[in-house]
Structure formats: C-alpha cells, structure tokens
Amino acid sequence: MMLQLSGVHAHYGSIHALHGVDVAVQVGEVVTLIGANGAGKSTLMMSIFGQPRASAGRIVFDGEDITALPTHEIARRGISLVPEGRRIFPRMTVIENLQMGAVLGEEMNFAVDLKRMYALFPILEERCTQSAGTLSGGEQQMLAIARALMSRPQLLLLDEPSLGLAPLYIKKIFQIVRELNREHGMTILLVEQNAHHALRVAHRAYVLQHGEIILSGTGSELLASPEVRAAYLEAGQKTETAA
C-alpha cells in the first residue's frame, strides 16, 4: 500500500470538513475522488500535506506515519502536489518555477528532468524565459504538473487539474494523466469535479459527499452506477456539451 488514510477527520476553522475518511492508493494506480463542490475533496487532498492537519485518524505513506509531519517533510518523503488553482510562482520565469520543483532533486538530474518535461510539454520549452504569470490557464496547469514532476515523486496528487480550462486543454490534461500512469508508471491520486473524464482514467474511485465516502469501486463500476450517473455524470455531461 502506498498511501493509506484511515478515519481522517479535518477542520477548517470551526467547519468540520472531513468525517472519518478512509482512502487507499496502491502502487501504480490512478485513484480518483469525485464529489460536488464543498464535499471536502480538496480538504482531503491538502490534509495529506498537513494543510489543514488531520484532527483525528492516521495517514500512512510507504509504511511511515506522516500524519504529524511538517508539510515540507511530507514532500520530502516523495509526495508531490499539483495544487488547486495551480499556484505557480507568477513573477518567476517558467524555468525558475521548474527549478523550484526540483529543489528536492539531485542537481545533476536537473538537465535530464528538464528535457523530459520539455518533451512532455513542448509549450514550456517555448516559454521557458517568460514569467509564469503570463501563461494561459492551460499552460499554467501544465507548468504546475511539470513542476510537481521535477522532484521525481513516487506519488502525484492532482487537485482539480481541469478547473477553469478550455475543453481542449481538459482533454490534453487527462491524456497526460493517462500517459504518466500507463507509460511512466506514476501513481496518481486525482481529485476532480469532472467525473466523466476522471472515472475513465481511474483504476479505482471514491465518491465524497459532505466529508464522507459514500461510494467506492473501480472506475468502470462507478461509471455504470446509476447513483453516480444521476448525481455527477448527467449534469456534468450537460454542462460540458453546453460549454
């Protein structure tokens, strides 16, 4: 087991956002968490990083209890995050952003990793000396993913990577998620509102509602489940065709 959350509770100020959540991620899997706005998806993701810290329960990564570790120590264990809203460093150049992502890596690997990222995201090579803030939303998302990959993580957390992107970019992002997993063997935990795309790429999935897991299963099981269809897919499909 690569990552195991058991009975995790989390609070945002006085709001009790997670009510004892159990989530597991195995090596080589893509696991996705779907749910409506405010279901606690991002809270769950960030609580793995101790932001906010889990108020009860245990988070174990690679056999080690990381529940109480400081955020940067958790990153050092080999977890990398693509945060919600991308959170790139806007006034720094694309290449400086990638250097920041490589802070934990060996210096000698930097050039190799940079080339790998440029191969994966050619647009980043074109823009390498531009300030990251001047990139388009989709390009920024790619930069955020590339930045997270620069540390050669064992586990990649993707928090709403398709948020606010044009349909073409959404497709591209999910292609990359698939490629990273199927070709490079990257283990990925993906939080998405875009249930349709997320379930298709995921091996397993959890449905989160009001801070609790109400359903789990393989991606195709959930895609076929009438409850999921009614709650997350039909509406999602409609807005997608409308957009």
Partner 1 sequence: MATLVLATHTISPAARFKDAVAVAFIALLLGIPMIGLTTVDQGGTLRVATRWPTLFAFVAVAFAGRLILRFAIDQFKAHQLTRERAVDVTTVASASGRAASPLLTWVGWAALGVALTLPIFFSDNRYVVDTATTVLIYVMLGWGLNVVVGLAGLLDLGYVAFYAVGAYTYGILATQFGWSFWEALPVAGAMAATFGVILGWPTLRLRGDYLAIVTLGFGEIVRVILVNWTELSGGPNGIASIPRPTFFGLELKPPGDDPTFASFFGLEYSPSHRIIFLYYLILALALITNVFVSRMRKLPIGRAWEAMREDEIACKAMGINARNVKLSAFAIGAMLGGFAGVFFAARMGFISPESFTFSESAIILAIVVLGGMGSQLGVVLAALVLVLLPELGRDFAEYRMLLFGAAMVMIMVWKPGGILAHREPTMRYVAEGDSR
* Residue 68 lies near partner 1 (rule: CB under 8 A): no
In the shown chain, the binding pattern of residues 26 to 55 toward partner 1, with x for contact by CB under 8 A and - for none, equals: -----------------------x-x----
Q: Report the Cα–Cα distance between both ends of the chain, in Å, rounded.
A: 39
In degrees, to the nearest 5, what angle opens at C-alpha 110 toward C-alphas 112 and 108?
95
DSSP assignments along 26-73, one per residue: -TT-EEEEEE-TTSSHHHHHHHHTTTTPPSEEEEEETTEE-TTS-HHH
Which of the ranges 5-13, 34-42, 99-107, 178-186 carries the binding residues for partner 1, by CB under 8 A?
A: 99-107
CA–CA separation, 177 vs 124, rounded Å? 17
* Residue 163 lies near partner 1 (rule: CB under 8 A): no
CA–CA separation, 61 vs 224, rounded Å? 31
Q: Smaller CB distance to partner 1: residue 21 or 74? A: 74
Select the residue interacting with partner 1 from 71, 109, 154, 209 (CB under 8 A): 71
Q: Smaller CB distance to partner 1: residue 157 or 213? A: 157
Q: Smaller CB distance to partner 1: residue 6 or 131? A: 131
* Residue 80 lies near partner 1 (rule: CB under 8 A): yes
Q: Could you tell me which of 104, 125, 106 has the C-alpha nearest to residue 114?
A: 125
Select the residue interacting with partner 1 from 24, 36, 60, 104 (CB under 8 A): 104
Which of the ranges 11-19, 130-138, 188-196, 222-230 carries the binding residues for partner 1, by CB under 8 A?
A: 130-138
Q: Smallest distance, Å, CB 2 to partner 1?
A: 18
* Residue 89 lies near partner 1 (rule: CB under 8 A): yes
DSSP 8-state class, residue 135: S
Q: Are 25 and 187 in contact (CB under 8 A)?
A: yes
Q: Are 211 and 35 in contact (CB under 8 A)?
A: no
Question: What tokens appear for 228 in the block?
Answer: 């999921």
Q: Are 32 and 198 in contact (CB under 8 A)?
A: yes
Q: Are 28 and 187 in contact (CB under 8 A)?
A: yes
Decide: helix, strand or coil at residue 192: strand
CA–CA separation, 18 vs 233, rounded Å? 23
Select the residue interacting with partner 1 from 93, 109, 154, 209 (CB under 8 A): 93
Q: Smallest distance, Å, CB 198 to partner 1?
A: 21
Q: Smallest distance, Å, CB 179 to partner 1?
A: 19
DSSP 8-state class, residue 219: H
Which of the ranges 7-15, 28-36, 89-97, 166-174 carries the binding residues for partner 1, by CB under 8 A?
A: 89-97
Select the residue interacting with partner 1 from 5, 75, 117, 142 (CB under 8 A): 75
Footprint of partner 1 (CB under 8 A): 49, 51, 70-72, 75-76, 80-81, 83, 87-93, 95-96, 99-101, 103-104, 111, 114-115, 118-119, 125-131, 134, 147, 151
